[in-house]
Amino acid sequence: MSDTNNADWESASVVVVAGALNHASASNAYTLALAMDRIVGHVVVVAFNGEGSFELLSGELPVVTLSSVPEVIDWPVDAIINCSNTHTDSVTLCERVKKQQNSVWIERHDGNAAADSDEQWLLTNKKDNAVATIVPQPRLSRWREETSVNKYFVQQLETRLSGVALNRQPNFETNAGGSTGDEKRDVVMFWKQNDSGLYGRRSDMVAKYLASRRDIRQVLVVDAPIELQQLKKKRGDDNFDQNRFVYTGTVSTAFRQNDNGSIRRRVFCYKEAPDSTEGYLSFLEQRFHELGIDASKSLFWMYPKLQWGERIIEHFKPFKRVMDIVDDHRSWPGVSDKKKVELSKHYEALLGDADKVITNCLPVKLSMYQFHKDIALVPNGCELKPNAVEPTHLKSYEKLKAHKGPVLGFVGNLEAKIDDELLRKLAYALPNALIVLLGSTHANPDIRTLGELPNVLMTGVVPHKFVGAFVKRFDVGLVPHKKMALTENMNPLKVFVYLSHHIPVVATDVPNIAKFDYVWQTNDHDAFVEKVKQLTVNKSGLELNSNTFNEFIKRNSWDMRLAVVVDNVLSSTKDV
């Protein structure tokens, strides 16, 4: 049994109120909470003190006990479900949450109670699996349209997917004057692209970590500004091209459909005009005001190159600035000398007096050293609990599941850095293996010809929440990168994705690959193919040790990577 004073529990999208511990509703509430957790994830049970055996049920879900109703509920709740509508404190708690958090309040009625409210909930039990059902369907449509909170909640229910873990401790306040809000910072993250949440990039992992900290109130992720005509050009139905996903994701973000707990996402979509920069600054001011963000007290986490980045810093003068350099854009293919000069000036302006600069690999650190002398090397990391939601709607996943032989997999955009000749050799050498390539071909359309091979499966873009289900079925994770300026200045996140799922890795001889017992780098095509054969066909005495994987994951988790950096930034005072 835990309480709000000493519980180490994660914050919730949904709170199930159980009433008193010695009441029959407690057991029913926990059953409902387990069902809800399977559907939306991050469910917390709240009950009031009393004599009972409720502790026998606890373990899978956080259980919070209260002696009285808090005056202030200072954590984000999408919905609160009351399983004891005759318990006075439960009703009062629901009323306060609904009022203070603008949350959906759902009454759970036992039996076949008539659904006489748009916010009623019925629960049916089928064997050991509790299934939640909203009734009736016409009211669901009306309910969905009422608020953005409802839209988010229903979307989660309909897709039966878990959201991103918030890992933030709620702050039950006994009175408004005792708020600890002044001890928490807001973070505004400026991402350089328009694909937040799609791929599970470094920025997504950093946002997730920041939101998990108890000293962070919320994380606002701002995608790159995008001109409306450019956005419209990305419309389409080609699953092999990320543009379709960028378009739908950006539109969803613009309509505030991609918020998740304490992570908020916004994007500035604008018509080209002489004052576009001023329009962007005004847009940010409005978003800050709506979310209660004071830039002068907030941490700005920025990913150069950033459109109008210099103006953002000059205008808002944030409390602290962290520059997280994941690419040296000067090393990208096709960048002209003139553009390289412009990029150098941009890096100099953003990094020059930053409070902290971090990079993901040594070559990028060295290339940025001319702009900032104190740069921390923070490589990519592992997710401790990676998503593995099965995309049963994808034919490519069903084909993967049906394959009986070895599975060799790649995750990432299929750009010019991919050695397609090596992949062809691999396909010919292991005809019984299925080579699965997950990623967009927008930057390298010619690579689609690999899909003509009988044992190559090209899935197109697979959203991050489904990637884990594919990776778990790999026998080997592939890093078939060419040696070039681009690959010399990157730290492949895919290696950590593979290892997070206990998948061994075979990579070409490119820099900045994680060193580990189950990661092998090869000098040429023949050696690469031979190593994959050893792991999948010959299996020459290799025994993969789960504990060895787990130790690597813990030592190289995002939490371990980022904790010291963020602690130092937030604890140090601003120089005057």
Angle between the N-to-C axes of helices 395-402 and 464-471, in degrees from 0 to 180, rounded to the nearest 10: 10
Check residue 166 and give its pLDDT. 25
What does the pLDDT look like over 270-326, one tens digit per residue?
A: 887 757 899 999 999 999 999 999 999 999 999 999 999 999 999 999 999 999 999
More confident residue, 117 or 427: 427
Judged by average pLDDT, the poorest of 106-115, 153-162, 290-299, 400-409 is 153-162
Let me know if the fold of 184-381+561-571 is the same as that of 395-543: yes
Q: Is the pTM of this model over 0.75?
A: no
Rounded alpha-carbon distances, angstroms, from residue 500 to 103, 243, 477: 35, 28, 11
Check residue 451 and give its pLDDT. 95
Report residue 334 CA to chain centroid gap: 31
DSSP string of 290-335, one letter each residue: HHT--GGGSEEEE-SS-TTHHHHHHHH--SEEEEEE---GGGSTT-
Q: Give the model's confidence band at 27: pLDDT under 50 very low, under 70 low, under 90 confident, else very high.
A: low
Check residue 57 and give its pLDDT. 39
User: What residues form DSSP beta bridges with 204?
Assistant: none
Q: Give the model's confidence band at 501: pLDDT under 50 very low, under 70 low, under 90 confident, else very high.
A: very high
Scan for tokens 């409070």, then name that residue: 355
Would you say residue 457 has pLDDT above 60?
Answer: yes
- CA torsion sign, 111 to 112 to 116 to 121? positive
**Hey, where are the domains in the chain?**
2-159, 184-381+561-571, 395-543
Q: Which CATH class is domain 184-381+561-571?
A: alpha beta
Would you say residue 419 has pLDDT above 50?
Answer: yes
- Mean pLDDT (the chain) is 79
CB under 8 Å to 205, separation ≥6 — which residues? 380, 381, 383, 558
Alpha carbons 495 and 290: distance in angstroms, whole number: 39
**DSSP assigned state of 74:** -
User: What residues form DSSP beta bridges with 478?
Assistant: 506
Q: Give the model's confidence band at 136: pLDDT under 50 very low, under 70 low, under 90 confident, else very high.
A: very low
Strands 120-126 and 129-133: antiparallel
Q: Does domain 395-543 have CATH number 3.40.50.2000?
A: yes
DSSP string of 427-453, one letter each residue: HHH-TTSEEEEES--TT-GGGGGGGGS
More confident residue, 528 or 140: 528
Count of other CB atoms within 10 angstroms of residue 527: 15
Total residue length of the chain: 576
The architecture that CATH gives domain 2-159 is 3-Layer(aba) Sandwich (3.40)
More confident residue, 555 or 104: 555
Strands 63-66 and 43-48: parallel
Q: What is the mean pLDDT of residues 479-490?
A: 90
What does the pLDDT look like over 202-233, one tens digit per residue?
A: 999 999 999 999 999 999 999 999 998 889 88
Token pair for residue 438? 């997950």
What does the pLDDT look like over 173-204, one tens digit per residue?
A: 322 222 334 579 999 999 999 999 999 999 99
CB under 8 Å to 111, separation ≥6 — which residues? none
Scan for tokens 């808090």, then name that residue: 70
